[in-house]
């Protein structure tokens, strides 16, 4: 036993530098031949970012193609109303200039347009693009197809975990 503990304090959000530093220190104590951990982890991060960008781009390409063809004739009015989650509170889905919008009552910055995507699944594009957290919005229908609630999940695999979309369980209240 080396009786070794490694503690690294950092004040940055990205974990890449933290991982590079801790792995380099650990490698030196464990006798692992030198590896450029900064480059190794940087390459992994770049590959992950490229894949996330591809996934997101594919979604927006599909949305643009649908809009161009005007292929999806969706009655957006049926999705309007107030939806409530016990933790998050109320969100209002409303029509603005014929487009469906998502507005969170507790946080005015959480607003964005909702685009039809596939059947009951829509795409929420936040108006504040700094969020980098566009999301799938899936409407849960009743037996007649009317929306009873909403489930959400991030589009990008790199969306920050703090958005907790998967924990939200919106129920239509009006």
Confidence of residue 128 (pLDDT cuts 50, 70, 90): very high
Contacts of 94 (CB under 8 A, 6+ apart): 80, 100, 101, 103
* Residue whose C-alpha is closest to residue 107's, from 135, 123, 131: 131
Q: How far is it, in rounded angstroms, from Cα 170 to Cα 163?
A: 15
The number of CA neighbours under 13 Å toward the Cβ of 72 is 17
Token readout for 61 is: 């390409």
* Residue whose C-alpha is closest to residue 91's, from 69, 115, 109: 109
> Contact, 149 vs 139, CB < 8 A?
yes
pLDDT value of residue 77: 95
pLDDT tens-digit series, residues 9-48: 877 767 788 888 889 988 988 889 989 988 998 899 999 9
Ranges of CATH 2.40.128.50 domains, the chain:
74-172
Q: How far is it, in rounded angstroms, from Cα 162 to Cα 133?
A: 10
Model pTM score: 0.77
pLDDT tens-digit series, residues 134-167: 999 999 999 998 999 999 999 998 888 888 898 9
pLDDT value of residue 71: 59
Helix (H, G, I), strand (E, B) or coil at 111: strand
pLDDT value of residue 76: 93
- Burial zone of 34 (CB within 10 Å; 0-12 exposed, 13-18 middle, 19+ buried): exposed
Q: How far is it, in rounded angstroms, from Cα 81 to Cα 138?
A: 15
pLDDT value of residue 84: 98
The per-residue b/e assignment along 123-149, b for 16 or more CB within 10 angstroms, e otherwise, is bbbbeeeebebbbbbbbeeeeeeebeb
pLDDT tens-digit series, residues 56-112: 999 989 888 887 777 557 889 999 999 999 999 999 999 999 999 999 999 999 999
Q: Which fold has domain 74-172?
A: Lipocalin (2.40.128)
pLDDT value of residue 72: 57
């Amino acid at each position: 036993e080396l009786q070794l503990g490694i503690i690294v304090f950092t004040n940055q959000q990205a974990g890449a530098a933290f991982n590079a530093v801790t792995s380099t220190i650990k490698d030196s104590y464990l006798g692992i031949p030198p590896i450029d951990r900064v480059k190794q982890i940087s390459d992994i991060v770049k590959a992950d970012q490229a894949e996330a960008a591809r996934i997101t781009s594919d979604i927006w390409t599909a949305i643009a193609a649908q809009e161009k063809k005007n292929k999806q004739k969706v009655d957006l009015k049926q999705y309007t109303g107030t939806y409530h989650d016990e933790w998050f509170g109320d969100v209002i889905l409303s029509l603005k200039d014929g487009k469906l919008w998502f507005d969170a009552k507790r946080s005015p910055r959480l607003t964005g347009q909702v685009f039809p995507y596939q059947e009951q699944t829509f795409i929420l594009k936040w108006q504040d693009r700094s969020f980098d957290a566009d999301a799938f919005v899936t409407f849960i229908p009743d037996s007649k197809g009317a929306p009873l609630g909403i489930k959400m999940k991030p589009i990008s695999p790199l969306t920050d975990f703090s958005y907790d979309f998967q924990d939200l369980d919106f129920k239509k209240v009006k």
